[in-house]
């Protein structure tokens, strides 16, 4: 029962549990210094509090396995008959990251009364979650695709090495075929040229023969003509008694 002029029991309860401001604490301590009745009450309460302190229990957080075990029983309890509980781990990497963000966003979203502004929190969460998910997915894709590409490239290497003999064989075949083709073409050209040269030579030989023949004929005609002239000259001289044309020296061929 609070006495007039004394702090209330609420004041003392907050005092003994250190739930007062510095100013209030000073005032209450000053009152205790002057009031044996309140001092006795405070001492009695603190003694009881000290007794209560003897019953200490573990305060450490539960390990994840025990927590998972505890939550596995949720759907087995009568009050949760409608509950479908599927213990699952946060498989999404980004969800965990988002959870980290939520801690800071929740702090930013606290109103002056200490109540969480859920609207602002959810808006911030959406923006940050999208950004973080994109970044984390990009990292994950690079981390997954790059090894995959490397593995595929490594698997392709044997195929490339096995193709080399085929490539070499084919190249050789093509080269040989090309050389053969060139050789064939060259032979044909050579034969044609040879044939042409042979024809030319034949023509030349024929022409030479003809020219020789003509030359012989011409020479023979010239001789005949000279002889005729000589005969005519001789005939005339016999008629006149003097030669008109002297026979060339050494030319004593008779008609």
Partner 1 sequence: MSVAGRVSPAAVMSDEAVMLLVCARDDAGAFGELVVRWQQRIQNLCLRLTASMHDAEDAAQETFARAYAARSQFQGQAAFSTWLWRIALNATIDLQRKQRPRETDGNSPDDALSRDQEPSLAAEQTESVQAVIQALQQLPDDIRTVVVLRHYEGLKFREISDVLGVPQGTVCSRMTDGLNRLAVMLRPAAHGLSSHSASEPRP
Window 67-86: residues binding partner 1 (CB under 8 A): 67-68, 70-71, 73-74, 77, 79-80, 82-83, 85-86
Smallest gap from residue 20 Cβ to partner 1 (A): 9
Describe the chain by its helix, strand, coil percentages, rounded to 5. Answer: 75, 0, 25
> Judged by CB under 8 A, does residue 51 bind partner 1?
yes
Q: Is 104 near partner 1 (CB under 8 A)?
A: yes
Our CB check for partner 1 shows the closer of 35 and 125 to be 125
Q: Does 93 bind partner 1 (CB under 8 A)?
A: yes
Least separation in angstroms between residue 130's CB and partner 1 is 14
Closest among 44, 51, 52, 58 to 13, alpha carbons compared: 44
CB environment 110-132: b (16+ within 10 A), e (fewer): eeeeeeebeeebeebbeebbeeb
Stretch that binds partner 1, among 118-126, 161-169, 211-219, 235-243 (CB under 8 A): 118-126
The residue within the footprint of partner 1, chosen from 3, 33, 37, 48 (CB under 8 A), is: 48
Residue 60 touches partner 1, criterion: CB under 8 A: yes
Span of 44-52, 149-157, 160-168, 198-206 interacting with partner 1 by CB under 8 A: 44-52
3-state secondary structure of 110: strand
Are 133 and 99 in contact by the 8 Å Cβ rule? The answer is: no
CA pair distance 81, 108, nearest whole angstrom? 37
Measured from the Cβ of residue 105, the count of other Cβ atoms closer than 10 Å reads 21
């Amino acid at each position: 029962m609070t006495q007039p002029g004394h702090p209330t029991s609420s004041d003392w309860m907050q005092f003994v549990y250190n739930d007062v401001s510095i100013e209030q604490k000073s005032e209450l301590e000053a009152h205790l210094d002057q009031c044996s009745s309140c001092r006795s009450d405070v001492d009695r309460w603190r003694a009881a509090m000290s007794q209560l302190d003897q019953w200490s229990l573990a305060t450490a957080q539960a390990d994840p396995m025990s927590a998972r075990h505890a939550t596995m029983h949720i759907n087995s309890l009568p009050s949760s008959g409608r509950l479908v509980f599927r213990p699952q781990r946060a498989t999404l990497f980004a969800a965990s990251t988002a959870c980290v963000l939520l801690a800071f966003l929740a702090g930013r979203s606290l109103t002056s009364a200490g109540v969480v502004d859920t609207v602002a929190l959810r808006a911030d969460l959406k923006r940050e979650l999208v950004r973080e998910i994109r970044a984390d997915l990009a990292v994950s894709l690079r981390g997954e695709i790059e090894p995959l590409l490397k593995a595929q490239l490594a698997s392709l290497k044997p195929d490339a090495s096995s193709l080399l003999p085929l490539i070499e064989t084919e190249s050789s075949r093509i080269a040989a075929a090309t050389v053969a083709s060139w050789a064939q073409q060259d032979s044909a050209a050579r034969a044609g040229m040879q044939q042409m040269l042979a024809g030319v030579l034949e023509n030349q030989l024929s022409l030479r023969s003809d020219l020789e023949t003509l030359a012989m004929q011409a020479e023979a005609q010239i001789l005949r003509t000279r002889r005729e002239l000589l005969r005519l000259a001789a005939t005339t001289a016999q008629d006149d008694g003097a030669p008109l044309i002297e026979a060339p020296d050494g030319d004593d061929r008779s008609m």
